[in-house]
Each structure stands twice: as C-alpha cells, then as structure tokens.
Amino acid sequence: MGLLDSIDLNKLPKHVAIIMDGNGRWAKERGEDRVYGHHEGVVSVREIVNASAEIGIKYLTLYAFSAENWNRPKEEVDALMELLVNTIRKETDELDKNNVRLSIIGDFASLPLICQKELNEAMDLTAKNTGLNLILALSYSSRREIADAARKIALDVVAGKLQPGDINENSFKNYLYTSAFPDPELMIRTSGEYRISNYLLYQLAYAELYFTNKHWPDFRKNDLIDALLNYQQRERRFGKTSEQIQKNTPQHV
Ligand code: FPP
C-alpha cells in the first residue's frame, strides 16, 4: 500500500493554502543565486498542483508573491515576474488539459502589464474547467484585502445597497477577494518559519496549521500527502468540546 492509499478520501480538506517559503535559503545552501531557488520552486509548484488534482482537492491557494515582496532587490523582483510569465505561458495548456481552473487574488493592477496579459489569457482559457481551482496570491496583502472590503462595504452603505445592520461575519466574506471560494481547512508553510505573514488572515480563522522544515523546492507529492495525513489526525472542534464533537458531528465536514 502506497502513502497515497493511506489518505481517507472522505476526510480531505476542500481547500489547502500554502506559503511556499525557503527558495532563497535552498539556493544559498547549494552556493547558488536566490533566483535559482525560485526556478526549482516552480518544479514543486507543478508537482503539488498535479498531486492536488489527482488526490481530489478542490481548491489550492499558493502564496506566490506578497505585496511586501515588491521591496526585494529589483533584480529578484524582475526575475520572479519573468518566471511567472514564462511559467504561465508554458503550463497553461497542461492546466487546461487537467481541467484546472486558474484564479488570482491580490492587487492585479500592480503587476507588470505582460503578467496581467498572460494571466488574463490563462484565466479565460481555463474559466470553464471544473476540476482543481488553482488560486495564485500575487501582490497579495491580507490586511489590504480586509481594508478594501471595508471600503467596498462603506460604498454599498452610502449607495443604499446595504444596511449597516446586515454587516456580519458571513456578508463580510462576500467582499473579500476570495468570495467565490470556501475557507481553507489546511494551511501549510514550508521552511521552518512559524508565521502567517499577512496571508488569508480572515479566511484562516479555523484552519489547521502545518509547518515543515523542508524548503519549498524540496516539498513534493509525498510531503503533501504527509501534511494531509497529519490533518486527518486532527480533531477540528470549532470551539466545542471533544465530547460534543465525538457524539454529534462527523469530523471534517
Ligand atoms: C519564498 O521563498 C518564495 C517566494 C517569495 C516566491 C515563490 C515563487 C515561486 C515558488 C515561483 C513562482 C511561482 C509560480 C506560481 C509560477 P524566499 O525567497 O522567501 O526564500 P527565503 O525565505 O529562503 O529567502
């Protein structure tokens, strides 16, 4: 029996979010430039996207570039944008063939025009696909997303489309970039850092957090399976007691 067979397909998280950390350190450990690590990181991206689709995960969100990443040296930012364009250009047909639908969250307008063009074409091409939803967080800041949501709500209130009394946890969600997606049940961060780093702060409220020391370029299919197996051993209580959960509710629904 392979590792894959040990996964309980009835207890899969619908949505897995990943902070792909450690490309730079992975490269430095090999005496290479940081950009080499990002290139190897793309190999992991490809493998994890394919494995997620194969396992039956419905939503996969990857933190590919944070709003704060614009502050990195210009050569690294340029290399990452070029890598993004080339990767999208090269992989879109394969994504489409595998029934993957691509979406973006973040400050799309801040991306170079060539990135916007490639991403728009890839999103259009894959828009009808019904398999894995691959969501790339690009130029993404969760605090900005929440502030944007507050601004959009204020505008709707001023326009008379929304009553202040109707603003609650659920209606708030409709104003986030992720309004079309369920909240992640599992968040994975590689490279031994124990931080959320301005990622999906509202959406991760009840997510199980999984940290591994592996750097992103070393994180492959079996590591994803390990994370899923670990997730399946957790008891998700949502504030209730263990006894209540075991008596009343099947887990992981
Ligand atoms: C974090 O490692 C990684 C990034 C900031 C970029 C992630 C990008 C990729 C994996 C490649 C492009 C992605 C797609 C979807 C085509 P780091 O540079 O912060 O590593 P460090 O913490 O060791 O310095």
pLDDT single digits (tens) 19-37 = 999 999 999 999 999 999 9
pLDDT for residue 115: 98
Q: What is the pLDDT of residue 253?
A: 43
Q: Which pLDDT value is given to residue 163?
A: 97
Q: Say which residues have a Cβ less than 8 Å from residue 208's Cβ, sequence separation at least 6.
A: 13, 185, 186, 187, 231, 234, 236
Q: Show which residues are catalytic.
A: 21, 69
Distance in angstroms (rounded) separating the CA atoms of residues 99 and 232: 26
For residue 23, CA distances in Å to 37, 102, 139, 189, 235 come to 4, 23, 18, 12, 32
CA 91 to chain centre: 18
Report angle CA 196, 204, 139 to the nearest 5 degrees. 55
- Mean pLDDT computed over 45-72: 98
CB neighbourhood size of 1 (10 A) = 5
pLDDT given at position 240: 85
> What is the distance in A from the centroid of ligand 1 to the CA of 58?
23
Q: Please give the pLDDT value at position 1.
A: 64
- The residue whose CA is least distant from atom 13 of ligand 1 is 64
143-179 tens-digit pLDDT: 999 999 999 999 999 999 999 999 999 999 999 999 9
- Identify whether the C-beta of residue 7 lies closer than 8 Å to the C-beta of residue 229: yes
Tokens of 170: 């659920």
Phi and psi (nearest 5°) for 97? -60, -35
| 205-247: pLDDT as tens digits | 999 999 999 999 999 999 999 999 999 999 877 888 888 888 8
pLDDT at 245: 82
* In the chain, domain spans: 12-141+184-232
H helix intervals, the chain:
23-29, 34-55, 74-97, 113-126, 142-158, 169-173, 221-232, 242-248
Do 9 and 53 touch, CB atoms closer than 8 A? no
Q: How confident is the model at residue 249 (pLDDT cuts 50, 70, 90)?
A: low
CB 45 within 8 A of CB 184: no
Output the six-digit token pair for 55.
């396992």
pLDDT above 60 for 251: no
The arithmetic mean of pLDDT across residues 10-16, rounded, is 97
pLDDT value at 181 more than 60: yes
Q: Give me the CATH code for the 12-141+184-232 domain, please.
A: 3.40.1180.10
How many angstroms separate the alpha carbon of residue 244 from the centre of ligand 1?
41
- Look at 5 and 40; give whichever has higher pLDDT: 40
Instruction: Decide if pLDDT at 111 tops 50.
Output: yes
Picking from 58, 125, 57, 36, the residue whose alpha carbon sits closest to that of residue 89 is 125
User: What's the chain's average pLDDT?
Assistant: 96
Contact 140, 65 (CB under 8 A): yes
Count of all residues that appear for the chain in the document: 253
Pocket of ligand 1 (CB under 6 A): 20-25, 34, 38, 41-42, 45, 62, 64, 69, 83-84, 87, 136, 216
How far apart CA 86 and CA 224 sit, in angstroms, is: 25
Q: Tell me: pLDDT of 93 over 90.
A: yes
**What pLDDT does 105 receive?**
98
CA of 160 to the centre of ligand 1 (A): 43
124 burial (CB, 10 Å; 0-12 / 13-18 / 19+) is exposed
